[in-house]
């Protein structure tokens, strides 16, 4: 798969190709169930238009909160980009079932908050999810959006997607190369770093209150 056509605006570690974590800076990492509150706040902050583009339907607060609760526990991989410690972009990779010739497929959804777009975040999410998919033996990524969603269509076409227009919806398919020892190694390193970052952001647990003394 070809890489995005331009250089990301965030500093990138040349070895792992992941954005460098800086205090108060930008970081891309896998999201875990412990990120639930950040994921919920992210989906609740999205304006109606963004939600309609992401879910291809009108979605109110209750449905957004309910989806957020399931997002990190459903099967698949969820990654997020934090800017200044706040989750501002989220990408999902969901297993999609096999294609006609037994081809393993997965669906990708991307959401970048208004005010953080056109800075390469969507492309960074897609790049990371494409690598995760490839390492899981997935040969094709599917990305659906409303047909007037020029932003998403252009973004995925830069990744070599073949597009199909169908009844108000656009569907893109990206063929992935097979995993290599290098791609597996790179994801292994990233996952270990992700886990450490996620643990580092967990709130410190307070010691339990002392038990009352026996009389
Ligand atoms: C689609 C979306 C994820 C793009 O995120 P992003 O972070 O702005 O994307 P990037 O900055 O990586 O843009 C990559 C390329 O996509 C294209 N693109 C992105 N936004 C665009 C826009 N508003 N108009 C035209 N092209 C656009 C451009 O080619 C861009 O490259 P460039 O900036 O060098 O010109 C974002 O607009 C979004 O979250 N939309 C709402 C949710 C949604 O529609 N999701 C898709 C369905 S799951």
Interatomic CA distance for residues 177 and 65, integer angstroms: 36
Cβ–ligand 1 contact at 172 (below 6 Å): no
Confidence of residue 125 (pLDDT cuts 50, 70, 90): very high
Q: Considering only CA atoms, which residue is closest to atom 23 of ligand 1?
A: 151
CA atoms within 13 A on the CB side of 197: 24
pLDDT score, position 196 = 64
pLDDT tens digit string along 182-198? 777 777 777 766 666 66
- 114 within domain boundaries: yes
At 209, the pLDDT band (50, 70, 90 cuts) reads: low
pTM for the full predicted model: 0.83
Q: Residues 1-30: pLDDT tens digits?
A: 444 434 344 445 444 455 444 445 889 999
Backbone angles phi, psi at 77, to 5 degrees: -125, 135
Q: What is the 3-state secondary structure (H, E, C) of the chain?
A: CCCCCCCCCCCECCCCCCECCCCCCEEEEECCHHHHHHHHHHHHHCCHHHHHHHHCCCCCHHHHHHHHHHHCCCCCEEEEEEECCEEEEEEEEEEEEECCCCCEEEEEEEEECCCCCCCCHHHHHHHHHHHHHHHCCCCEEEEEEECCCHHHHHHHHCCCCEEEEECCEEEEEEECCCCCHHHHHHHHHHHHHHHHHHHHCCCCCCCCCCCCCCC
CATH number of the CATH domain containing 115: 3.40.630.30
Q: Is residue 149 part of a domain?
A: yes
CA-CA distances (angstroms) from residue 208 to 174, 199, 213? 51, 20, 15
Q: Which residues pair with 106 in a beta bridge?
A: 95, 141
| 110 part of a folded domain | yes
1 within some domain: no
Most confident of 10-24, 154-168, 173-187, 200-214: 154-168
Q: Which atom of ligand 1 is nearest to the CA of 108?
A: 48
**How far, in Å, is the centroid of ligand 1 from the Cα of 151?**
4
10 domain residue, yes or no:
no
pLDDT of residue 166: 84
Ligand 1 within 6 A of CB of 77:
no
Query: Is any ligand 1 atom within 6 A of the Cβ of residue 83?
Result: no
Count up the domains in the chain and report the number. 1
Probe residue for ligand 1, chosen from 118, 120, 171 as the CB with the greatest number of ligand atoms within 8 Å? 118
Residue 195 lies in a domain: yes
pLDDT > 90: percent of the chain: 64
Domain holding 90, by residue range, is: 26-200
Give a yes or no: residue 103 inside a domain.
yes
In a domain, 157, yes or no: yes
**76: Cβ below 6 Å to ligand 1?**
no
127 C-beta closer than 6 A to ligand 1: no
Report the mean per-residue pLDDT for the chain.
Answer: 84
């Amino acid at each position: 798969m070809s890489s995005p056509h331009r250089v990301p605006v965030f500093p990138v570690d040349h070895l792992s190709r992941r954005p460098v974590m800086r205090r108060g800076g930008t970081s891309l990492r896998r999201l875990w169930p412990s990120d639930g509150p950040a994921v919920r706040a992210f989906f609740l902050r999205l304006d109606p238009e963004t939600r309609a583009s992401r879910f291809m339907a009108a979605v109110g607060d209750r449905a957004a909160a309910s989806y957020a609760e399931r997002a990190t526990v459903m099967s698949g991989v969820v990654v997020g980009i934090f800017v200044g410690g706040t989750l501002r972009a989220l990408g999902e990779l969901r297993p999609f079932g096999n294609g006609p010739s037994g081809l393993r497929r997965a669906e990708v959804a991307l959401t970048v908050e208004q005010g953080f777009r056109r800075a390469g975040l969507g492309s960074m999410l897609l790049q990371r999810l494409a690598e995760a998919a490839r390492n899981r033996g997935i040969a094709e990524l599917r990305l659906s959006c409303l047909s007037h969603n020029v932003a998403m269509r252009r973004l995925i076409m830069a990744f070599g997607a073949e597009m199909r227009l169908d009844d108000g919806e656009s569907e893109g398919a990206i063929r992935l190369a097979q995993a290599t020892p290098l791609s597996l190694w790179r994801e292994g390193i990233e996952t270990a770093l992700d886990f450490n970052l996620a643990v580092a952001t967990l709130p410190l647990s307070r010691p339990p209150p002392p038990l009352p003394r026996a009389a």
